[in-house]
Structure 1
Amino acid sequence: MALLVQKFGGTSVADPDRMRAVADHVARTVRRGNQVVVVISAMGKETDELLRLASEVSSTRPGREMDMLITAGERKAMALLCMALHDAGVPADSFTGSQAGFITDDTHTNAKIVEVRPERVRQALEGGRVPVVGGAQGVSGSGDVTFLGRGGSDTTAVALAHALGADLCELYTDVPGVFTSDPRVVPDARKMDRISFDELLEMTANGCPKPAMRSVEYARTHGVDLHVRSAFTWEPGTLVTKEEQDMEQAIISAVTHDVDESKITLIGVPDRPGIAGQLFRALADHSINVDVIVQNVSEHGVTDISFTVPRSEYERAVAIAREQAPALGAQDVKGDPDIARVSVIGAGMKSHPGVAATVFETLAKEGINIEMISTSAIRISCIISEDQVEQAVQLLHDAFDLSHGPALVD
């Protein structure tokens, strides 16, 4: 008998028919002799609707009240699913995040999990019942309801799987698994049967929308195996596990892209210690996350510093850079909000020469100019013009022949 945590996203439970379909699937899993804990998101676009209502009612939208409002969507969904499970002959109990033992920090709208104390969930399992936990929520040390942020239900599921010692955490969504690229951009993108935590973490950090990056980080840190699969076909999806040294390894596993990028350049900055620290401290103090950073070679005692930030932070970041420019001695500040990032990812590239050359040659052949480059042991990312990013994804996907299976290390 296995203990499984099954998480269902908003599209999986978007209406009463979908809710009953999920209940039937959980019931079948239980009847096969498994113990099941369910984590559920708000139905469909309900979170978006609650945010819309808040914006119409208030211009201040205090964080404490926003968390109370947003988490209502998950509470509604968990109660409805429990009712559907009872109709399917499966006894079930609903639990809010606080009832399930999720203790968080005091940060409203994007709280972090501090501790999980799932005593009530364990008691329900021991009593032969299915606990249904509202995702993306907890309670702060001061007793306030907190929201874990977008994608927080994935993190709830992984954290609960770790706390309970579950055999597997299944993340059900509206896609059949993890693909070698976005199927909307590359029609012949291939679903992967298996991928490592490190590869999936790079993918989610570089444009792959599901599962949530925080959940993959948590799973990797605590060794929680994941199964990303569809709640519409119920077919096996993609297994995410720790990389095994003796398994065959793809040179490149996936090509991802991200259009939520913008670039800022400080021109003519004096080349002396402390300049970069002063600039990026100012950005950090305003909670602006900087991604790729490039500092050009100094010429005549001055240099250029370029960096990327999320497009939603572009205007704020430009304003801060211009505010800092006089103190830094910069001659000018220029920005470009119309860039994008394309990344090739694969655990095999760290021991296989020539990957970077193939990437750069493929893009150059089609006249795609690379503005910035960022790498890790298993990733190469190129910042390019946004209007060329889909072409770049298709070209690189073809260059590594990902549609016909992974290129393997010899």
Structure 2
Amino acid sequence: METIVVKVDSSSLTTPERIDKIADRILEHKHKGKHPVVVVPSIELLEGNFLPYPSIFNEKIANRESHVLKAINTHVASSLLAIVIERKGHKAISLSGWQAGIEVSKSNGNVLIELIHHDLILERIQNGDIAIVAGSQGYDENKDLLTLGEGGPETTAVAIGAAIGAEYIEILTEQDGIYTADCSIVNEARKLKEVTYDEMLELAHLGSTYLHPRAVELAKIYEMRIAVRSSTNNVEGTWIKGEVEMEKNRVVRGVAYEADIIRLTVAFESYENSSLANIFMTLAKHHIDVDIIVQAVIDGVKPTVSFSIAKEDFAEAIKVLEKSKAQLGFSFADFEVGLAKVSIVGSGMVSNPGVAAQMFDRLRKENILVKMVSTSEIKVSVVVPQDEMVRAANVLHDEFQLVEEYVN
């Protein structure tokens, strides 16, 4: 029995006409002899109905009930799609997270999938039903409904695919695949035929919005192939898989960017008083993510450590550092705003030294100031002035010759 899991995007469920089109798209798989399981996200449909109840929703809602409210629109989305498919003459059934057997748990404030009782979904498939699962939800040991949060729908799709042994996962989006760069800032960006799990993870962490990292991580663990395709045009998309054919032996295969980066610098009177562990453990306790870290220890100069954070974490980071100043033992903290991160990604970097040097040389020739650097085996990131972000992305896209078409 060849099964696939199709994750539908929210834009496909916003009007009756779009729901009708996405139903036809799902039925195409059925006509080809495959058994699709569909995962739907939440749709913004019922929020307006909550407006008459400001006295209730202006207060802090109990955590349990907050999860229930978040799940309502997903239930509606799955039911609407099931109704349309049935009207087209096919059997379909909407399933909530608990009806699909999705067991979840809380860990460090996050909701994670623990187990999927896949026999419940397989039973529906064997009955000839197209199972339409309300994504991003499950039940815990207390039988309470919990939602997975950011990246939940696609993570649900991958988890279901792994549990039922699906052939692959199809992620339908507003774009028709994964590109060498963001088309909105790099006009010459081209669609990639394939990317590796590791490349996609780096792109996702570096600001690319195609797919959430937690879904890619899960797909990598279970070696579950993902096809990212357009929800409106039935054209070939991009495959995410373990190994790819290195088209034309390209070392760099994508450029990513992230705006609104802030650099914080903490200075100490002496090296003995400094402790990177204490600083970053303190920030981590307050759920502040730190990215690029640069430490400077030079004889005769006060030691410093600089690190980058997202704009939304800035106020809380300053508050935490000031409150913990005596405990952490630093003399002062400074910051710089108006920065951005631009990165190059490619699994071919592992066996090709000199890529970072080539990147730095091109940025130098373009008079683009590099303020911080971070590297891994398959990526190099630089922090640059934000008003140079777009130009930096474009010149690096040009430098590594990503303009040529990848898809046949």
Aligned equivalents of 1:267, 1:55: Cα separation in 2: 47
Task: Name the residue aligned to 2:364.
Answer: 364
**Contact 2:271 2:297 survives alignment (8 Å):** no
1:172-251 correspondence to structure 2 within 5 Å = 172-243=172-243, 249-251=249-251
1:46: how far off?
4.5
2:120 equivalent to 1:120: yes
**Contact 2:268 2:274 survives alignment (8 Å):** no
Aligned equivalents of 1:256, 1:218: Cα separation in 2: 22
2:402 equivalent to 1:402: yes
Aligned equivalents of 1:41, 1:366: Cα separation in 2: 43
1:104: how far off?
0.9
Task: Name the residue aligned to 2:306.
Answer: 306
**Contact 1:220 1:242 survives alignment (8 Å):** yes
Task: Name the residue aligned to 2:255.
Answer: 255
**Contact 1:271 1:298 survives alignment (8 Å):** no
Aligned equivalents of 2:386, 2:5: Cα separation in 1: 39
1:349-388 correspondence to structure 2 within 5 Å = 349-388=349-388
- Go from structure 1 to structure 2 and tell me whether the alpha carbon gap of 1:362 and 1:59 turns closer, same or farther (over 3 Å shift): farther
Q: Secondary structure at the match of 1:111?
A: strand
Aligned equivalents of 2:281, 2:108: Cα separation in 1: 23
Give deviations 1:286-326, integer Å, cap 9, x for gaps: 12121111101333263111112222111111111222333
Aligned equivalents of 1:318, 1:20: Cα separation in 2: 50
Aligned equivalents of 1:274, 1:119: Cα separation in 2: 55
2:106 equivalent to 1:101: no
**Contact 1:63 1:109 survives alignment (8 Å):** no
Q: Secondary structure at the match of 1:207?
A: coil
Q: Secondary structure at the match of 1:94?
A: strand
**Contact 1:107 1:146 survives alignment (8 Å):** no
**Aligned residue identity for 1:272:** E
Normalization by structure 2: what TM-score? 0.93
- Go from structure 1 to structure 2 and tell me whether the alpha carbon gap of 1:165 and 1:201 turns closer, same or farther (over 3 Å shift): same
**Aligned residue identity for 2:20:** R
Give the 4+ runs in structure 1 shifted more than 6 A: 47-56, 245-248
Task: Name the residue aligned to 2:268.
Answer: 268
Aligned equivalents of 2:231, 2:319: Cα separation in 1: 44
1:85-100 correspondence to structure 2 within 5 Å = 85-100=85-100
**Contact 2:274 2:329 survives alignment (8 Å):** no
**Aligned residue identity for 1:10:** S
- Go from structure 1 to structure 2 and tell me whether the alpha carbon gap of 1:236 and 1:405 turns closer, same or farther (over 3 Å shift): closer
Task: Name the residue aligned to 2:25.
Answer: 25
1:328: how far off?
3.3
Aligned equivalents of 1:49, 1:167: Cα separation in 2: 40
Aligned length: 405
- Go from structure 1 to structure 2 and tell me whether the alpha carbon gap of 1:377 and 1:108 turns closer, same or farther (over 3 Å shift): closer
Q: Secondary structure at the match of 1:369?
A: coil
Q: Secondary structure at the match of 2:142?
A: coil
- Go from structure 1 to structure 2 and tell me whether the alpha carbon gap of 1:344 and 1:24 turns closer, same or farther (over 3 Å shift): same
**Contact 1:98 1:139 survives alignment (8 Å):** yes
Give deviations 1:239-275, integer Å, cap 9, x for gaps: 0100259986520000000115222110235213861
Aligned equivalents of 1:31, 1:160: Cα separation in 2: 22
Q: Secondary structure at the match of 1:350?
A: helix
Task: Name the residue aligned to 1:13.
Answer: 13
**Aligned residue identity for 1:127:** N
**Contact 2:260 2:338 survives alignment (8 Å):** no
Task: Name the residue aligned to 1:35.
Answer: 35
1:61: how far off?
3.0
Aligned equivalents of 1:51, 1:311: Cα separation in 2: 31
Q: Secondary structure at the match of 2:184?
A: coil
Give deviations 1:17-55, integer Å, cap 9, x for gaps: 111111111112101111110001123x45987999998
**Contact 1:111 1:149 survives alignment (8 Å):** yes
- Unaligned stretches of 5+ in structure 2? none
Moved more, 1-10 or 390-399: 1-10
Task: Name the residue aligned to 2:78.
Answer: 78
Give deviations 1:168-225, integer Å, cap 9, x for gaps: 1000011100000000001110010111000000000001011111100110111110
